[in-house]
């Protein structure tokens, strides 16, 4: 049972204090006043036109390259529904976002899990698999501030992945909801930008920069594939929520999105710093890649640690995290994901103290 004094490091969502509630209210007011017909009608499966155009401009493409959906999970679902049949081979990263893994498995895909390095997916391992005859339909890659691993894909690997997708004719699915949340280091080009052969389909979201409750995400990619996704979308829900999308459109076009991103980044930066410092001090056995942005940090503990036991002990002490095993087909038994997005900085030290106490008990029992 969760109690009110529990601290959750489990949810990849922003805490309410960094959601731009006033700017969202003002954006809704403007959207409903300026374009009530657009906001309150069904609309089309492409999405709310002014938002689709804003997204298309951002990616330097025409409106026909974009579909705006109810969260990017919905966009993923349309893409997978179109491309994946039972038995198709799909490349994923190990570890990867648990919901992607679940939906691909639900569709009967064969999963080829390629390990992650501190600079992203092990491209040499993928290349070897391709040379040995693997023929994936699609590769799912999270390039920036990975969920759950926190790492970022290097520029060389981005280039190489695009080349491999083109050479071996698979769709490179670039799942990029955290791209705007870099608080350190230089931004890198997306694989969508590097692609010259229509091999990349790109997804992003307003869940992490505005708020998840608004449920707005999108796909950007080759017009033919996007047209097919729009057909699937029409058959699924006629159109996404025009109310939500009209609010997001106003939020973006007024510049409120830039302020929101700055607020979120500043909070995440502080939370990341507090977390890394506390882990270093209280849990020196923890090994992790320091994220340069985003919401997550992945912790590897010594191999003797059973994360199922650790999770139960931590829960008893009032701290909750997601076990590494949730993000992998196999392995992750000594690892965990910490989301520092949902907890104010002044609670993170206490959360780590509780986690370290749980770890201490586990270690003590072993001794
Ligand atoms: C890698 C990745 N893809 C997709 C999503 C889903 O985002 P949305 O809220 O836009 O559906 C998430 C959310 O955590 C995510 O981490």
> What string of pLDDT tens digits covers the 367 residues of the chain?
556 689 999 999 999 999 999 999 999 999 999 999 999 999 999 999 999 999 999 999 999 999 999 999 999 999 999 999 999 999 999 999 999 999 999 999 999 999 999 999 999 999 999 999 999 999 999 999 999 999 999 999 999 999 999 999 999 999 999 999 999 999 999 999 999 999 999 999 999 999 999 999 999 999 999 999 999 999 999 999 999 999 999 999 999 999 999 999 999 999 999 999 999 999 999 999 999 999 999 999 999 999 999 999 999 999 999 999 999 999 999 999 999 999 999 999 999 999 999 999 987 767 6
Asked whether 147 and 97 are in contact (CB, 8 A), the reply is yes
Return the CA Rg of the chain: 21
Q: How far is the CA of 227 from the centre of ligand 1 (A)?
A: 22
pLDDT recorded at residue 3 = 67
Ligand 1: atom nearest CA of 76 is 4
**Residue range 7-19+258-366, CATH number:** 3.90.1150.10
Q: How far is the CA of 103 from the centre of ligand 1 (A)?
A: 13
pLDDT recorded at residue 299 = 98
284 exposure class (CB count in 10 Å sphere: 0-12, 13-18, 19+): exposed
Asked whether 265 and 183 are in contact (CB, 8 A), the reply is yes
Q: How far is the CA of 177 from the centre of ligand 1 (A)?
A: 6
Ligand 1 pocket test: which of 12, 73, 150 has the largest number of ligand atoms within 8 Å of its C-beta? 73
Q: How far is the CA of 115 from the centre of ligand 1 (A)?
A: 20
CA dist., res. 49 & res. 46, Å (int): 8
Q: How far is the CA of 13 from the centre of ligand 1 (A)?
A: 10
CA dist., res. 204 & res. 191, Å (int): 13
Q: What burial letters (b/e) apply to 254-280, b meaning 16+ CB within 10 Å?
A: eebbeebbebbbebbbbbbebbbebbe
Q: How far is the CA of 99 from the centre of ligand 1 (A)?
A: 8
Ligand 1: atom nearest CA of 207 is 9
pLDDT recorded at residue 6 = 94
Ligand 1 pocket test: which of 19, 97, 144 has the largest number of ligand atoms within 8 Å of its C-beta? 97
Which residue's C-alpha comes closest to atom 6 of ligand 1? Answer: 73
Ligand 1: atom nearest CA of 205 is 10
Asked whether 245 and 217 are in contact (CB, 8 A), the reply is no
88 torsion bin: left (phi>0), alpha (psi -120 to 50), beta (else):
beta
Give Cβ neighbours of residue 29 (< 8 Å, ≥ 6 apart): none
Ligand 1: atom nearest CA of 147 is 16
Q: How far is the CA of 366 from the centre of ligand 1 (A)?
A: 38
Which residue's C-alpha comes closest to atom 7 of ligand 1? Answer: 72
| CATH architecture of the domain with range 21-256 | 3-Layer(aba) Sandwich (3.40)
Q: How far is the CA of 73 from the centre of ligand 1 (A)?
A: 6
Which residue's C-alpha comes closest to atom 13 of ligand 1? Answer: 12
CA dist., res. 349 & res. 355, Å (int): 10
Ligand 1: atom nearest CA of 75 is 11
Ligand 1 pocket test: which of 47, 67, 79, 99 has the largest number of ligand atoms within 8 Å of its C-beta? 99
pLDDT recorded at residue 97 = 95
247 exposure class (CB count in 10 Å sphere: 0-12, 13-18, 19+): buried
Neighbours of 89 (CB within 10 A): 17
Q: How far is the CA of 288 from the centre of ligand 1 (A)?
A: 22
Ligand 1 proximal residues by C-beta, below 6 Å: 12, 71-73, 97, 142, 147, 175, 177, 205, 207, 212, 217
Q: How far is the CA of 367 from the centre of ligand 1 (A)?
A: 41
pLDDT recorded at residue 338 = 98
User: Could you tell me the residue ranges of all domains in the chain?
Assistant: 7-19+258-366, 21-256
Q: Which of 100, 48, 64, 341 is nearest to 216 (CA)?
A: 48
């Amino acid at each position: 049972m969760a109690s009110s004094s529990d601290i959750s490091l489990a949810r990849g969502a922003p805490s309410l204090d960094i959601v731009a509630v006033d700017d969202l209210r003002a954006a809704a007011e403007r959207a409903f006043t300026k374009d009530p017909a657009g906001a309150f009608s069904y609309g089309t499966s492409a999405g709310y036109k002014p938002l689709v155009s804003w997204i298309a401009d951002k990616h330097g493409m025409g409106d026909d390259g974009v579909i705006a959906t109810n969260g990017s999970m919905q966009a993923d679902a349309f893409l997978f529904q179109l491309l994946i049949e039972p038995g198709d081979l799909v490349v994923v990263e190990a570890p990867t976002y648990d919901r992607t893994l679940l939906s691909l498995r639900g569709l009967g895909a064969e999963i080829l899990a390629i390990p992650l390095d501190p600079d992203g997916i092990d491209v040499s391992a993928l290349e070897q698999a391709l040379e040995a005859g693997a023929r994936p339909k699609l590769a799912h890659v999270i390039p920036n501030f990975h969920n759950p691993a926190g790492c970022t894909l290097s520029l060389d690997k981005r280039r190489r992945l695009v080349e491999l997708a083109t050479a071996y004719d698979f769709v490179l699915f670039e799942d990029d909801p955290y791209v705007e949340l870099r608080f350190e280091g230089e931004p890198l080009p997306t694989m969508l930008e590097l692609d010259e052969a229509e091999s990349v389909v790109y997804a992003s979201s307003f869940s992490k920069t505005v708020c998840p409750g608004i449920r707005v995400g999108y796909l950007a990619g080759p017009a033919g594939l996007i047209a097919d996704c729009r057909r699937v979308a029409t058959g699924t829900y006629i159109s996404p929520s025009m109310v939500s999308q009209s609010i997001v459109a106003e939020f973006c076009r007024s510049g409120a999105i830039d302020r929101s991103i700055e607020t979120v980044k500043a909070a995440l930066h502080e939370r990341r710093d507090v977390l890394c410092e506390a882990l270093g001090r209280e849990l020196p056995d923890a090994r992790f890649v320091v994220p340069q942005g985003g919401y997550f940090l992945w912790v590897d503990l010594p191999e003797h640690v059973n994360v199922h036991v650790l999770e139960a002990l931590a829960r008893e002490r009032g701290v909750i995290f997601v076990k590494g095993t949730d993000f992998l087909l196999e392995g992750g038994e000594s690892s965990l994901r910490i989301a520092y997005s949902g907890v104010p900085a002044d609670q993170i030290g206490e959360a780590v103290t509780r986690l370290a106490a749980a770890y201490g008990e586990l270690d003590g029992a072993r001794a």
